[in-house]
Structure 1
Amino acid sequence: MNNKKSTLRVGIVGGGISGVALALDLCRHSHLQIQLFESAPAFGEVGAGVSFGPNAVRAIAGLGLGEAYRHVADHTPEPWEDIWFEWRSGRDASYLGATIAPGVGQSSVHRADFLDALATQLPEGIAKFGKRATQVEQQSDRLNVLFADGTEYPCDLLIGADGIKSALRDHVLEGQGLVPQTPRFSGTCAYRGMVDSLHLREAFRANGIDEHLVDVPQMYLGLDGHILTFPVRKGRIINVVAFTSDRSQPEPTWPAGAPWVREVSQREMLDAFTGWGDAPRTILECIPAPTLWALHDLPELTGYVHGRVALIGDAAHAMLPHQGAGAGQGLEDAYFLARLLGDTRTEIGNLPELLEAYDDLRRPHACRVQRTTVETGELYELRDPVVGANEQLVGEILATRFDWLWNHDLDADLTEARARLGWEPRSQSAIRQE
């Protein structure tokens, strides 16, 4: 009698950081056959600098990608290596406080650099390009993803890692009897630019501004706006993002068909920050050709899974960037699924229970991150309903604001998931919580 266990075929749609990280981990396991599909002709990330909190750095290490990350990551230089951000008034750059991330500080990368470092490790044949998913066919014993080029891929499990405009999200929500959800405009736009650090130092010297503001990640806070800076590419470049929020409409909309990203003039950007102080204005004056990003997110979904199709990353919980947590949540999703799917006890018969555990344990946390990200943006822009424009109190609150997010015990969630699958005993803390 042949008792050999059959190989599980896993399809991953989306070649961003989360999808590639998951594929890299899963393709190391002999009981899994992995295929990654990317709609573009090659890997590529939109955007510039991306920040990772301590929780995300742990997930990266857990996925076996720590060395690749360290090769391209930037960190706050000594003696400020534990500082995530210093908080300052947008009026005069006066110090309001700092958030400390011990052992990590402001850990950031250029998105394209990190994705390239991951993609170069993928074994040949894992990734297929020019594959835009258009439809999913799913029955009890059959799962196919169809592509725009007329091809299809039959698999046992399909992971949607295809971003905020996910092609797979509707299938998951409709399969649960839920209304499809599309990205919503937040009312906030961000001017972005990359500044040569030497150029910024010269500009600061010329204006009598302390160069410490170049060396350490900064966040300048003001009414209906905030500006952040942190180094990327080994400190040679300063990533600048200047946010401005229009609160005139309770439910803001972005013009249909209008691009979410466009080039704008420096004058438009400077006009948006009229009345701000010398330091933030000098930073913006060093960006001759900024781009404007219309920031969208998703409503909190009530389900990430339908049958044997699951959503991860921005496809499931696209969020605003105010906690530097979006990419990190996608990596936590990848780590969670990788640890379960990579276990040799995983088989097609227990995939429903495995995915149910993923949905039950990851979704509430990711939804909380979405929700608090919006609230954090209100705090930055002096619109918190309790704190308002009390800048000193804002600084005090931000000192510990992110502890719950950074200290979340993802391995405890995995222990609970394994217990639900009958792989190990449940912890006493999990039993007490019921």
Structure 2
Amino acid sequence: MKAVIAGGGIGGLNAALCFHKLGWDVEICEQAAELGEVGAGIQISPNGMKVMRALGIDGQIEAAGFRPRATQFRMGQSGQPIFTASTAEYEATFGAPYLHIHRADLLDILKEALADRISGGIRTGVTVTGYGQNKDEAWAFLADGSKVAGDVLVGADGIRSVIRSQMIGAEAPVFTGNVAWRAVVPVEKLGRNAPLPVSSAWFGEGKHAVTYLLRGGKLANFVGVVERDDWKNESWTEQGSRADALADFAGWHPTITTLLEQADSFYRWALFDRAPLNQWVDGRVTLLGDACHPMLPFMAQGAVQAIEDGYVLARCLAKKEGIDAALSAYFEARHDRTAKVQAAARTNMEMFHQRTARGKLTTYGPMWLANKIKPDLANQKLAWLYGHDVTA
């Protein structure tokens, strides 16, 4: 059996490894001439690391990434801690580590693992324009007029998926009123204002920031989200200016302002929300990751949910009799879970940006108190997410 995957990002490469593990041949069609990621970090929570372990690449990810000591909420201007949860406790409770890794490093690990296991399974510099199918196979149409056929076609082609557009039609995403900044800075440039070895979310009025370390602690990753309605470009590769980023976080803690002062480049993108889809299967064609459930970044689960998708999809196809039954089982297994993560991210967007003294007190006060009297509360609240194991 053969799977054709449109898209060679993290979701597509991970899915290919999952298919290979469960006995399928794979061919990936990627538009870019070379596989690569714009510099940025991602967080891989225990539910994602369980898939990496099943694929036999968790060791490489741990070696390339950074294991934070804790996750933490702090006030953006003063730096006052609100809530701290030990990642060692996460690992003990959920059975896998919580790691930070550079997107490019994760992509390289997936690519190298795939090259070791599948000969010639990746075609780069080819643009998928749509799909077709009959009762025996599905195929991706390419811009040069050719096609690539297999038993199933997987659209892992991201937030602007052409596979989704053909399957479901044009969408109307809703602008959230938030714009995100991101930057990566060598820690040696930050001096005593370098971020702590924890994953920190910094809360402010109408904005928040996230900082954490990458590559064994050599790089600091910054993501900042600001409420504004004067810029609505969703591109991940559009650059902004240092002056604009500093203006958005003026008066904030020196950890934040020093990061922005020392960064060489700044990327920004507008955040759009999308409702859960009612379908992402059409015959022998299905969707995966951002193509079917793009997420706001406030749960740090976009990549991890795509990783879960790949394993569940491959498992369903390996276990079920018939493509229709397998893809239906995949949709049923993933739809409600990913919709719940989407909703949780939307809720966090509102929680992070309290503007009034009353809002801050009633939102952050109970967090601070709970952290003092019930330090395992984070484990309990995250058990549905981090404790999930799609490989079990």
TM-score higher than 0.5? yes
The 2-side partners of 1:282 and 1:163 are apart by 33
- State the TM-score, normalizing by the size of structure 1: 0.79
* 1:145 Cα deviation from its structure 2 partner: 1.6
- Specify the code of the residue in structure 2 equivalent to 1:360: E
Q: How does 1:142-181 map to 2 (within 5 A)?
A: 142-173=137-168, 179-181=169-171
The 1-side partners of 2:22 and 2:327 are apart by 19
Q: Give the secondary structure class of the aligned counterpart of 1:23.
A: helix
* CA distance 1:363–1:396, shift in 2 (3 Å): farther
Residue 291 of structure 1: aligned partner: 267
* CA distance 1:403–1:272, shift in 2 (3 Å): same
Residue 56 of structure 2: aligned partner: 64
Kept after mapping to 2: 8 A contact 1:225/1:381: yes
Kept after mapping to 1: 8 A contact 2:126/2:142: yes
Q: Deviations over 1:378-411 (max 9, x none)?
A: 1111279x95554323556795343322123435
* 1:62 Cα deviation from its structure 2 partner: 2.3
- Specify the code of the residue in structure 2 equivalent to 1:368: K
The 2-side partners of 1:376 and 1:341 are apart by 34
* 1:113 Cα deviation from its structure 2 partner: 0.8
* CA distance 1:397–1:165, shift in 2 (3 Å): farther
Kept after mapping to 1: 8 A contact 2:6/2:157: yes
Aligned match for 2:190, one of 193, 197, 200: 200
* CA distance 1:337–1:147, shift in 2 (3 Å): same
- Specify the code of the residue in structure 1 equivalent to 2:227: S
Residue 6 of structure 2: aligned partner: 13
The 2-side partners of 1:339 and 1:293 are apart by 35
* CA distance 1:392–1:282, shift in 2 (3 Å): farther
Aligned match for 2:196, one of 214, 219, 234: 214
Q: Deviations over 1:181-202 (max 9, x none)?
A: 2554332112211122122124
Aligned match for 2:42, one of 50, 56, 66: 50
The 2-side partners of 1:238 and 1:293 are apart by 20
The 2-side partners of 1:280 and 1:22 are apart by 36
Residue 360 of structure 1: aligned partner: 332
Kept after mapping to 1: 8 A contact 2:47/2:388: yes
Residue 75 of structure 2: aligned partner: 89
* 1:130 Cα deviation from its structure 2 partner: 1.6
1:236 aligned onto 2:222: no
Residue 410 of structure 1: aligned partner: 390
1:306 aligned onto 2:278: no
Aligned length: 374
Identical-residue share of aligned pairs (%): 30
The 2-side partners of 1:166 and 1:373 are apart by 21
Kept after mapping to 1: 8 A contact 2:50/2:391: no
Kept after mapping to 1: 8 A contact 2:232/2:269: no
* 1:369 Cα deviation from its structure 2 partner: 0.6
* 1:297 Cα deviation from its structure 2 partner: 4.3
Q: Deviations over 1:355-391 (max 9, x none)?
A: 111111211110111111011121111279x955543
The 2-side partners of 1:227 and 1:253 are apart by 19
Kept after mapping to 2: 8 A contact 1:379/1:394: no
Which has more helix, going by share of residues? 2
Q: Deviations over 1:29-80 (max 9, x none)?
A: 55x322111111121123410101111111222233323322322112xxx3
Q: Give the secondary structure class of the aligned counterpart of 2:238.
A: strand
Q: Give the secondary structure class of the aligned counterpart of 1:410.
A: coil
Q: Give the secondary structure class of the aligned counterpart of 1:168.
A: helix
The 2-side partners of 1:317 and 1:22 are apart by 16
The 1-side partners of 2:368 and 2:158 are apart by 33
The 2-side partners of 1:411 and 1:28 are apart by 12
Structure 1 stretches lacking a partner, 5+ long: 1-7, 174-178, 205-210, 413-434
* 1:116 Cα deviation from its structure 2 partner: 0.8
The 2-side partners of 1:289 and 1:190 are apart by 14
- State the TM-score, normalizing by the size of structure 2: 0.87
Aligned match for 1:351, one of 308, 315, 323: 323
Kept after mapping to 2: 8 A contact 1:134/1:146: yes
Residue 110 of structure 2: aligned partner: 118
* CA distance 1:41–1:353, shift in 2 (3 Å): same
* 1:288 Cα deviation from its structure 2 partner: 4.6
* 1:121 Cα deviation from its structure 2 partner: 2.2
* 1:280 Cα deviation from its structure 2 partner: 2.7
Kept after mapping to 2: 8 A contact 1:86/1:218: yes
Q: Deviations over 1:3-33 (max 9, x none)?
A: xxxxx22111110111111112323455x32
Considering only CA atoms, is the larger Rg found in Structure 1 or Structure 2? 1
Q: Give the secondary structure class of the aligned counterpart of 2:275.
A: coil
The 2-side partners of 1:264 and 1:241 are apart by 13
The 1-side partners of 2:301 and 2:235 are apart by 24
The 2-side partners of 1:409 and 1:33 are apart by 25
